[in-house]
Amino acid sequence: EAQVTQNPRYLITVTGKKLTVTCSQNMNHEYMSWYRQDPGLGLRQIYYSMNVEVTDKGDVPEGYKVSRKEKRNFPLILESPSPNQTSLYFCASSARDRVYNEQFFGPGTRLTVL
């Protein structure tokens, strides 16, 4: 089944404790991205990647890091999480030449930073 998976689905952590949220897709997509969603603000793009080893900032990259060492994986790293990063996070992917057509989203990761 074609899908985007994220792990963990739920995470409660404390301020300053490094964490990684994994994202993996099995559709051989070149384009992947991360979003955060907060009440009243809609989805905001954090980072995106057009291919292996190619990443770029979205609208809200502060406090986050990403890496794209393999085509299928695009982990989101919070080196020193803070409470304002409490949010619902979504990973998405699409074929590079169809990025304007359809994004496939993962199920989401709900992160709480205490």
Q: How many CB atoms lie within 10 A of CB 46?
A: 24
Q: Is residue 34 a contact point for another protein (CB under 8 A)? A: no
**The two three-digit tokens of residue 96, written as one number:** 């590079």
Q: How far apart are CA 44 and CA 30, in angstroms?
A: 20
Give the nearer residue to another protein in terms of CB position, either 79 or 108: 108
Q: How far apart are CA 62 and CA 47, in angstroms?
A: 10
Q: Is residue 59 a contact point for another protein (CB under 8 A)? A: yes
Q: Is residue 95 a contact point for another protein (CB under 8 A)? A: no
- Report the interface residues with another protein, using CB under 8 A: 4, 31, 33, 35, 40-45, 48, 50, 56, 58-59, 88, 90, 92, 99-108
